[in-house]
Amino acid sequence: MLTKGAVEDLICEHLARADRGALAPAGKKSAPVRKIFLSDWELRRLYKPGSRSLTVPANAILSPLSLDWLDYNGVKVARN
pLDDT tens for 35-52 read: 689 998 898 898 888 899
Number of domains in the chain: 2
Of residues 54 and 10, the one with the higher pLDDT is 54
CA 38, CA 13: separation in Å to the nearest integer? 17
- The reply to whether the predicted model has a pTM over 0.75 is no
pLDDT at 1: 77
Closest among 49, 55, 54, 46 to 75, alpha carbons compared:
54
Q: Are residues 20 and 1 in the same domain?
A: yes
Q: Are residues 47 and 80 in the same domain?
A: yes
Q: Are residues 44 and 71 in the same domain?
A: yes
- pLDDT band, very low/low/confident/very high, at 13 (cuts 50, 70, 90): confident
pLDDT at 5: 77
Query: Domain range for residue 48?
Result: 34-80
CA 78, CA 13: separation in Å to the nearest integer? 27
Closest among 25, 68, 32, 73 to 53, alpha carbons compared:
73
Q: Are residues 26 and 54 in the same domain?
A: no
